[in-house]
Amino acid sequence: MAKYVYGIDLGTTYSCIAYVDESGRANVIKNLEGTNTTPSVVNFASPNQVVVGQVAKENAVIDPRNTVSLVKTLMGKSNFAISYNGEDKSPEEVSAYILRKLAEDAAKEIDAEVKDVVITCPAYFGTAERTATKNAGIIAGLNVLEIISEPVAAAIYYGCTKESEEKTILVYDLGGGTFDVTIMSINSEKIEIICSDGDHDLGGKDWDSAAMRYLADEFASQKSYNGDLDEYAQQDLRLKAEKAKQQLSAKEKTPVIVEAAGERARIDFSREKFDEITSALLKSTIDKTDSAIAVAEQRGFKVDEILLVGGSTRMPQVTNVLEEKYGIKPKILEPDEAVAKGAAIHAVNVYINNQPNVIPDPSIPDPDNSVESLPIDPMMMSIGGKKRAIVVATTKSFAIEVIVDKKTREPKCCNMIIKNDPMPDGSITVSKTFGTVDTGQGEVEITVYESDFMDEYFDVDEDYAIGTATLELPENLPADSPIEITFSLNSEGILEVTGKDLTSNKEIHATMQSKYIMNSETVEELKEKSKQMAVM
Ligand code: ADP
Ligand code: MG
């Protein structure tokens, strides 16, 4: 069996797996249903069997209580996705079944082992979400080589990393449930994320809902029906609306048969109508794109190229509006596969760079190296065997609670690290000095907040608090004594906080981690336990 490594796009609505073949080309591997992408829907069918993909998506009608959709939106934010058979299932475990479906189907399809993978996640994912994604991979029994950002993977696939000249790229990713816009500076050696923005609750599903409303209204007026559609008719209409939307990407018009309340109506749906009823949705993606461009321009970057990612960018309205607005013709190449393929190319890069001999030569046995060689000559690929640096930007802002006005004593959050701050060596350290408030103050309470706010000060909101540390102070310290606070964020998103009383030089250190990070024992337990479940 040949040894391959894989790229997995674990999407909000659809997932995809790809590998690089002997000729150096990235290919998507079909699932056993024969499609390139698999709906990220998990149905707990029985205590020892889960169904993943299109069948689960359709089952959602009959069995909504045992079906999980959009589990990605819970990653790192909750430890609960669904309760089944008297047991609470975490988002990591549910995602692991999606990964297993992709991996097990792929292994059968190309007759190879699926073990070493790069999994992608949105650029805005912070530590907790990235760790949850990695843990899902471990629970699925995979060896996760790396977690990389989706727009980075897409840019790799689009071949942006082949060029030696530096370019500024905008990735517009409109998927099924989310919209993300990322601006990066790229050349053959390095990919640097300048900024990312988006709407985590805007995607193809909203276009489907708009189409559904239109179809339901047309049905009501054709059949003079004023009742509501029952749950089954709604779900059926949702599937039909999505299909019609996809057809309208290729055709100007499509007929839709709506069945409800014992009646059938044929509705002629046109692209023009569809574009009209969804124009406000499209506009909100452009507003986000504008603000990302503004951030990049402030830092001296001007967008040279636009890449389209996500199945929803197949809608012609997307290309049209972007070209009209920015005067750049966006590039579009298999937008719903680009992320998985880019991740597969990156997986080869990571895999060979982790081996002692950069370009594996199967004819020379290496006693120290038990790692299997790939049947690929990296020189045949865009990556050319060279290690590529990915420079990330912070994906969250980190603040400390302070009292700005001693009279009102109203606490405020003061951002130390601001979202999109560059992390040139993969880390960032910021120090600021504050003064104590009261004479003889016994201690300083350091409360840390993680948020998306980008202003220097914002109002305290407990929802964003991630931890506290207490720095004891020497006696009789006058008010306004200097206290130095240092935030240090590493590439894994772990924040080290140091508080130092500059009078006595006494320090306190604390590590802040999100509350939803699963511990490694639980991950291992789930890995063993979920093996009992067959994935269909
Ligand atoms: P994810 O959001 O999970 O990353 P994708 O990038 O695959 O997933 O995007 C899925 C969305 O793309 C769905 O809303 C789907 O209906 C939509 N989509 C797929 N193909 C087309 C098409 N031809 N025209 C319009 N929308 C499409
Ligand atoms: Mg996606």
Provide the residue count of the chain: 536
The preferred substitution site among 9, 10, 14, 173 for testing ligand 1, maximizing ligand atoms within 8 Å of CB, is 14
CA 367–ligand 2 middle distance (angstroms): 41
Ligand 1 nearest atom to the CA of residue 14, by list position = 3
Cα separation, 372 vs 107, whole angstroms: 17
Nearest CA to 338 out of 118, 156, 526 is that of: 156
CA distance 225 to 274: 22
3-state class of 513 per DSSP? coil
Assign 269 a pLDDT band (cuts: 50, 70, 90): very high
Cα 182 to middle of ligand 1, angstroms: 18
Ligand 2 centre and the CA of 298: distance in Å?
Answer: 28
Q: Which of 133, 118, 21 is nearest to 75 (CA)?
A: 133
Cβ 85 vs Cβ 47: under 8 Å: yes
Q: How confident is the model at residue 379, as a pLDDT?
A: 57
Average pLDDT along the chain: 89
Residue 343 to residue 157: CA distance in whole angstroms? 8
- The residue to which tokens 């998103």 are assigned: 493
Which amino acid residue places its CA nearest to atom 20 of ligand 1? 311
Q: Please give the C-alpha separations between residue 88 and each of 45, 92, 93, 256, 337, in angstroms, as whole numbers.
A: 15, 12, 10, 40, 32
Ligand 1 centre from 357 Cα, in Å? 40
Neighbours of 379 (CB within 10 A): 11
Average pLDDT over residues 223-241: 88
Instruction: Name the least confident of 18-32, 204-218, 355-369.
Output: 355-369
Range in 12-26, 96-110, 134-148, 462-476 the model is least confident about: 462-476
Stretch 78-100: mean pLDDT? 95
Q: How far is the CA of 177 from the centre of ligand 1 (A)?
A: 9
Q: Tell me which residue of 47, 21, 32 sits closest to 534, measured CA to CA.
A: 47
Pairing of strands 143-149, 116-121: parallel
Q: Measure Cα distances from 513 to 124, 290, 447, 510 in Å.
A: 17, 32, 13, 10
Residue 443 and residue 401: Cα distance in Å, rounded? 14
Q: What is the pLDDT of residues 122-165, one digit of tens each?
A: 988 877 888 899 999 999 999 999 899 999 999 989 876 666 78
Q: Tell me how far the alpha carbon of residue 314 lies from the centroid of ligand 1, in angstroms.
A: 8
Average pLDDT of span 110-117: 96
Burial of 61 (0-12, 13-18, 19+ CB in 10 A): middle
At 69 the pLDDT is 93
| Strand, coil or helix: 345 | helix
User: What is residue 176's predicted lDDT score, i.e. its pLDDT?
Assistant: 92
CA of 415 to the centre of ligand 2 (A): 30
Residue 474 C-beta-side C-alpha neighbours within 13 Å: 13
Q: What is the pLDDT of residue 293?
A: 96
Q: Judge whether 485 and 440 are in contact, CB under 8 Å.
A: no
Nearest residue (CA) to ligand 1, atom 26: 312
* Pocket-testing residue among 10, 13, 178, ligand 1, by greatest number of atoms within 8 A of Cβ: 13
Cα separations in angstroms, 532 against 42, 55, 152, 182, 526 = 16, 21, 35, 40, 10
Distance 332 CA to ligand 2 centre (A): 14
Helix (H, G, I), strand (E, B) or coil at 328: coil
Rounded CA separation 36/211 (Å): 25
Segment holding 281, helix H or strand E: helix 279-298
122's CB contacts (< 8 A; 6+ apart) are 129, 149, 150, 178, 180, 196, 198
Contact 107, 4 (CB under 8 A): no
Query: Nearest ligand to the C-alpha of residue 319?
Result: 1
Atom from ligand 1 closest to the CA of residue 205: 14
State the Cα–Cα distance between residues 376 and 368, nearest whole angstrom: 21
| Dihedrals phi, psi of 155, to nearest 5 degrees | -65, -35
Ligand found nearest the CA of 71: 1
Predicted confidence at residue 368, as pLDDT, reads 46
Ligand nearest to the CA of 332: 1
Q: Where are the beta strands (DSSP E) in 10-92?
A: 14-20, 26-28, 38-39, 42-46, 49-52, 67-68, 82-84, 87-89
Q: For ligand 1, what atom is nearest to the CA of residue 309?
A: 6
Identify the residue whose C-alpha is closest to ligand 1 atom 24. 246
Ligand 1 atom index nearest CA of 11: 3
| Cβ atoms of 102 and 89 closer than 8 Å | no
Residue 313 alpha carbon to ligand 1 centre in Å: 8
What are the structure tokens assigned to 533, written together? Answer: 């479940």
Nearest alpha carbon, ligand 1 atom 25: 246
CA-closest residue to ligand 1 atom 12? 311
CA end-to-end span of the chain: 24
| Per-residue pLDDT tens digits for 333-361 | 999 999 999 999 999 988 887 754 444 44
Residue 144 CA to residue 280 CA, distance in Å, equals 39
Nearest CA to 486 out of 461, 509, 515, 468 is that of: 509
Residue 459 β-bridge partners:
412
User: Element (H or E) spanning 239, and its range?
Assistant: helix 231-248
Q: Where are the beta strands (DSSP E) in 271-326?
A: 305-309
Contacts of 426 (CB under 8 A, 6+ apart): 391, 392, 490, 491
Tokens read off for 328 = 């750049």
**Nearest ligand, measured from the Cα of 335:** 1
Q: For ligand 1, which residues put their CB under 6 angstroms from it?
A: 11-14, 37, 175-177, 203-205, 242, 245-246, 249, 310-312, 314-315, 336
Query: How far is ligand 1, taken at its centre, from the CA of residue 337, in Å?
Result: 10
Q: 249, 390, 356: which is closest to 312 by C-alpha?
A: 249
Ligand that lies nearest to the alpha carbon of residue 336, given by its number in the listed order: 1
Which of 16, 202, 246 to mutate for ligand 1's pocket (most ligand atoms within 8 Å of CB)?
Answer: 246
pLDDT in tens, 24-42: 889 999 999 999 999 999 9
Compute the distance between CA of residue 121 and CA of residue 129 in angstroms, rounded to an integer.
8
Average pLDDT, stretch 257-281?
Answer: 95
Distance 354 CA to ligand 1 centre (A): 34
Among 467, 468, 487, 469, residue whose Cα is nearest residue 421 = 487
Q: Which ligand is nearest to the CA of 337?
A: 1
Closest residue by CA, ligand 1 atom 19: 311
Q: Please state, for a pLDDT cut of 90, what percent of the chain lies above it.
A: 64
The ligand 1 atom nearest the CA atom of 242: 16
CB 524 within 8 A of CB 456: no
